[in-house]
Structure 1
């Protein structure tokens, strides 16, 4: 009887020990996940992603920060940011002052948005399971001039303030490592912004100068990041206007 009681006592102690180790193991795993770039929503104290000063957004306080003198597409920075967990596609423009990041999300990381659940998603990707692009009208056609759209697309966030600060900090730190001259890093996952930045990138890929588009680019970034009153005109429309003007003057 005494032996049985001792055995029960030993088993009980062993079970408690396993439980403690298990809880500790889960806790350590959870902490590692929160500290990693697979989780941008934990907002835990001492998260290594948020160490140091804020690296994104309006940090200089200088007037005219979006009055850029020139801009260029950076293939290096675009590729580097695209490899960050949670980022599906990315286009980075460098200027004499700033870096502007247009990105979409792929759902491989947690908490990339500050708020909102499934109902707040801007994309409806159910058509992919039915072999169509537009689930509403059954159309199989995709506008290949765009990188993101409302259907069967990577994810967008209309308001850049709704992007996780941990995600923006992670992106901005990577940008500053590779381009230490930049004064500010501005990041958006807005659908219209991404698709318009793509058009500027296409100009660069084609070997065309971006100099003629500096003003329109500045209008775009002011509207997106500084509440600019002037509405940006798509580069496609500006080109059409230029062609019409040319044709009329001949």
Structure 2
């Protein structure tokens, strides 16, 4: 592989991405929390990210399966306040990816995000590695409830813990918590999409959370591009590294 080309200029980033998408037939986008920061949703590991804020418990603890089971009231309080963002709207990156898919220039989006903004923008083939806040499942009868329903139940159920109105069962967000495995079917779909791609654009992710960060190793195509505000441990593997704002980079 040739030396990595690093870009920090927005205009150059836009032209480079436009050229790469135009010259490849099977592109895949793999994104993380940084894709949604322009929509007002904080990421996790940046200086002003979720993990640098102060709560009664560390965010990693509150987002664990054990915490969900043992402290359901505190879990759902944090979930409603920090994980669900009903007012968030797709930004330019989401919209451009949906447009590229519609034009037949993007095969799939693989995302670590749980906000549903790719689908809201119009993307159809989306592999949600960590699930979605828009699906909340009764663990007894399997009934599924939306994020709006969970928010509305904050003052209706004991301690703010939502209960299935159909059977009284416990509700669990369809998101992958710490201590839980990824969905095998979603993971395999993402692996197949990346393995079949000739262009992989990775954006808005620190590439430190596994197994998601390991998906890059399945790519054997022509060009690997990493778009992230901060350096990642896998930058040296990329043909192009773009260090400017991702929403601006996708404004082409």
* Bigger fraction of residues in helix: 1
* Bigger fraction of residues in strand: 2
TM-score by length of 2: 0.27
Higher relative contact order (CA 8 A, sep 6+): 2
TM-score by length of 1: 0.27
